[in-house]
Structure 1
């Protein structure tokens, strides 16, 4: 286990982020839509409503007939989707997923730019540890970064991220080697706290809130850390 240490420096710049995240597969299904007429019950009154009652009876009968016609016969199987239609559906879903990923990329990149905290981890850390670190950072609103892809394989990396987050259904990491280089991060886990005076780095396997408390006591960015702790205590 690495001993927590604080490193002080004074260089601030911006990084470019790429997001690796997992998503659940989406099923595409066709559903029948039935239009039903509402039934009305007329309370007995002191005068005759024969014509209205007959009209409502007719509506009820028509509704029942439409419903019966809409129901597929027993043993009915919907026609198979043609190869061309399936390709079109797959294309639409792929574009939708791409748009969602781009939106997630933008949102996460903005989070890194705006957050005074950045958490650096690596898949060299045992999985049990990462399963605690990544969700904890997410709960605290701290973006988590990794240095690169596993074996330079995006799918393998995405699968690893999914394995980390599937139990709690939250969390994620961003692939951002430039930010690693920007802050000179060569060992993990590491927490960076940024401020106008520069930034502090806390290395070691330590709970994030404890790391922020130490920086609040002795770091160059102690005011940022203290303000964050006060806001958490409210």
Structure 2
């Protein structure tokens, strides 16, 4: 991944799903009439209906993400710096824990980050996120997007998840993506976001004021 991060959201998944039929038809045309004729009209109609249904189900969420992007909210990351709190997770975590922490992080506006692609495969990562997003939505958990940014894992020496990092970035760091001068507090384990922030606010060495501000400015 080097200096680049990726943001996965249901916006990408829904639009990608809607394009599946056209992609298939283009491929079928390229491989010749025989390949195209081997696909029944019923199958094509089913794919088209499924694709349209998926798009319709996600349209509200798509509109929300588009509006956020118009207001300046990032929908992609390219080695961004960290100032505040970050929740580090993995798709291999137990789903109830992943969903509950991600949902709570959303209420604090804390970004959720994973270390890299599943087996280095973008398609597998998208598929995994799609399944998790669908399950979370059924249970009404907020799990609408995660960032992929190994630089953040390196910056804060994260070797286990879940982990909540709270940090105040000093001005001396400038534009450095990885700044050795940036100190931080980290809480590992299954504690809630609120409890972790309270622990850092009370006993943190580097970012207790940042944690306290997050607690005071968010009503959860």
TM-score (norm: length of structure 2): 0.58
Check if 1:227 corresponds to 2:189.
Answer: no
Whole-angstrom CA distance in 2 between matches of 1:163 and 1:137: 20
5 Å-filtered alignment, 1:84-233, equals 106-109=74-77, 113=81, 115-166=83-134, 167=137, 168=140, 170-195=143-168, 196=170, 198-219=183-204, 220-233=206-219
Q: What SS does the corresponding residue of 1:227 show, helix, strand or coil?
A: helix
Aligned length: 147
Structure 1 unaligned blocks of 5 or more: 1-14, 28-96
Whether contact under 8 Å (1:20, 1:173) holds in the other structure is yes
Structure with greater helix percent: 2
Which runs of 5 or more structure 2 residues have no equivalent in the other structure? 20-61, 171-181
- Corresponding residue of 1:18: 6
Bigger radius of gyration = 1
1:80-99 Cα deviation digits (max 9, x unpaired): xxxxxxxxxxxxxxxxx9xx
Offset, 1:131: 2.1
Larger RCO (CA under 8 A, 6+ residues apart): 1
By how many angstroms is 1:224 displaced? Answer: 0.9
Q: What's the C-alpha RMSD, in Å, of the aligned pairs? A: 3.0
Matched with 2:41 is none
Question: Alignment partner of 2:199: what SS?
Answer: helix
- Note the C-alpha offset of 1:157: 1.1
